[in-house]
Amino acid sequence: MAVGKNIRTYFEGQWHDGNAPIMRAADHGSWLGSSVFDGARYFEGMAPDLEAHCARVNRSAEALMLTPSVTTEQMVEIVHEGLQAFGPESAVYIRPMYWGIDGDATAIVPLENSTGFAICLEEIPMAPETAAATLGYTRFRRPVLESSVVNAKAGCLYPNNARMLQEARSNGFSNALVADALGHVAETATANIFMVRDGEVFTPTPNGTFLAGITRARHITNLRADGVTVHEAILSFEDFHKADEVFMSGNMSKITPVTAIEGTRYQVGPVARRAREMYWDWAASTR
């Protein structure tokens, strides 16, 4: 499903205008779910951490036993070529993706060197600075590596995220605060999560149940460079209820303050505002 209307698709060595068809009915990815993707952003004439996102989609492919066919450097070059059709005022979601084409004799295991590749550039506005989220609980949890490919940004993981979101929305919240298998806070249904208490920042320690995002890492680096103490720690839901402020981080919106978790209310705090300011300053420095 397309979110935006202005789309360009790179497939089979060339750019196509629009939401081009890229899979066939019997492709491994179509019926057995072997698809991975990544998401970078182009906004205000800059594409921060593009190389890191392109490198990660290749690692995600390998985690699903797919053979990456495009190097990170080639991918970055292709993306920049495609972005030339958009103006500097455009905000674009950059989505490189792989999927399996053929399977082995059982059909289940994707064959080596039989991988589809495409890049979708989709014009989607950045969230306004005033955007905020509310979080509710969900009974659905993040899986572990022994039962799911949580070390990849894989399409097959997203039905679980979708039911988290749907449950939270049905209870009047915009997103879900999600636990890992042991009941500790992992992330939200769509983004990594941070909390602030007594001027120090806390975020769940990466434990193999969720992707510790590229944007998450950028915020941690920026905050520490600004003199803020940042802890990666095991955190409970009660820890978040006792926090002074809470915010989410992800590629789509970069930073989103949280104004409620169930019945607990929060103000949009100074740390979230400062983290956003530092991210934009850092991104501009890499233009």
pLDDT for 196-224, tens place per residue? Answer: 999 999 999 999 999 999 999 999 999 99
Parts of the chain belonging to CATH 3.30.470.10: 7-123
Predicted confidence at residue 30, as pLDDT, reads 96
Predicted confidence at residue 5, as pLDDT, reads 80
Q: How far apart are CA 16 and CA 2, in angstroms?
A: 15
pTM: 0.94
The amino acid present at 274, given as its one-letter code, is R
Is there a contact between 57 and 39 (Cβ–Cβ < 8 Å)?
no
Structure tokens at 194: 């941070």
Give the pLDDT confidence of 126-151 residue by residue, as tens digits: 999 999 999 999 999 999 999 999 99
In words, the CATH class of domain 7-123 is alpha beta
Parts of the chain belonging to CATH 3.20.10.10: 133-285
Predicted confidence at residue 1, as pLDDT, reads 57
Closest CA to 220 of 157, 271, 178, 263: 271
Match 């100074």 to its residue by tokens: 270
Predicted confidence at residue 243, as pLDDT, reads 98
Closest CA to 164 of 141, 197, 130: 141
Flag residues of the chain having pLDDT under 50. none
Predicted confidence at residue 27, as pLDDT, reads 97
Residue range 133-285 in CATH 3.20.20.70: no
From the CB of residue 44, how many other CB atoms can be counted at a distance below 10 Å? Answer: 16
